[in-house]
Amino acid sequence: MNTESERFHTYLPREGHGLPHDPFNAIIGPRPIGWMSTRSASGVLNLAPYSFFNAFNYTPPIVGFSSLGRKDTLRNIEETGEFVWNLATRPLAEAMNQSCAAVPFDVDEFDLAGLTPLASQVVTPPRVAESPVTMECRCTQIVQLRGADGADIPSWLVLGEVVAVHIERSLLKDGIYDTAAGQPILRGGGPADYFSIGEAQRFRMFRPR
């Protein structure tokens, strides 16, 4: 039998991973994409994807993402308290990727990526009209993250309550949302890996009673 050191590559993150690319993002994944649209207090639109994103609560529904650094999305939410999550799909993958370009604050990523702003019903930031699922959100908390040593790090967790949901009717099969039909794309490891979900990946497992 192999020894533990032969079986596992073990490292302490503070000392480096010793690999060609940090594996952390690949292990925690594939990760859903937080494709966030916001509007600044002065009216400038912003659209950007975040791969540190997920759902955090059921009732009320709360989603959140982490901004690594003080980016435009974070600043806009601090100013207005609102954002919209847009489902990034396989057909929209190239546009999503284009929207993450490092551009000046006054550049409208909707225009940059060739996407259409669609007015929201409850919040001010627009939705991505081409996205089949969107969630309008009001910010509930912004938390600066800390390391185990108690020191603040330059990353902020943004949480928001979902106040309106828009789902294309074609994705509702007998009233149940069809995840695979939505064609979500998920972030993997390495500098460029993404994954998609299809019917072949579906399996069912009910909770024990």
* pLDDT in single tens digits along all 209 residues of the chain: 578 888 989 889 989 999 888 888 888 878 999 999 999 999 999 999 999 999 999 999 999 999 999 999 999 999 999 999 999 999 999 999 999 998 888 889 999 999 999 999 999 999 999 999 999 999 999 999 999 999 999 999 999 999 999 999 999 999 999 999 999 999 998 889 999 998 999 999 999 99
Q: Where are any strands of DSSP class E within the chain?
A: 31-32, 34-39, 45-50, 53-57, 62-68, 82-86, 117-118, 127-128, 133-146, 152-167, 172-173, 176-177, 185-187, 194-196
As a CATH number, domain 30-184 is 2.30.110.10
Tell me how far the alpha carbon of residue 82 is from its chain's centroid.
15
pLDDT of residue 106: 85
Assign 3-class secondary structure to 16-41.
Answer: CCCCCCCCHHHHCCCEECEEEEEECC
Helix (H, G, I), strand (E, B) or coil at 5: helix
pLDDT of residue 26: 80
CB of 35 closer than 8 Å to CB of 87: yes
Tell me how far the alpha carbon of residue 158 is from its chain's centroid.
11
pLDDT of residue 4: 84
pLDDT of residue 1: 55
Residues near 117 by beta carbon (within 8 Å), at least 6 away in sequence: 37, 45, 110, 126, 127, 128, 129
Helix/strand number for the chain, H first, E second: 5, 14
Domain residue spans of the chain:
30-184
